[in-house]
Amino acid sequence: MSIESLDVRYRPARGNTVKTPRPTSLTSSYGCTYDAWNRLVKVYVDVNTNGDYDTGTDTLITLNEYDGLNRRAKKHIDTAAPAAPDGVDT
Q: Which is nearer to Ca ion, 21 or 82 (CB)?
A: 82
For the bound state, the minimum distance from the C-beta of residue 14 to Ca ion, rounded and expressed in Å, comes to 20
- Please enumerate in sequence order all residues whose Cβ is within 8 A of that of 26, keeping only pairs 6 or more positions apart, or say none: 1, 5, 6
User: Of 44, 35, 85, which Cα lies nearest the Cα of 62?
Assistant: 44
Residues in contact with Ca ion by CB under 5 A are 46, 48, 50, 54, 58, 78, 80, 86-87, 89
Count other C-beta atoms under 10 Å from residue 41's C-beta: 15
Q: Which is nearer to Ca ion, 51 or 73 (CB)?
A: 51
Q: Which is nearer to Ca ion, 54 or 70 (CB)?
A: 54
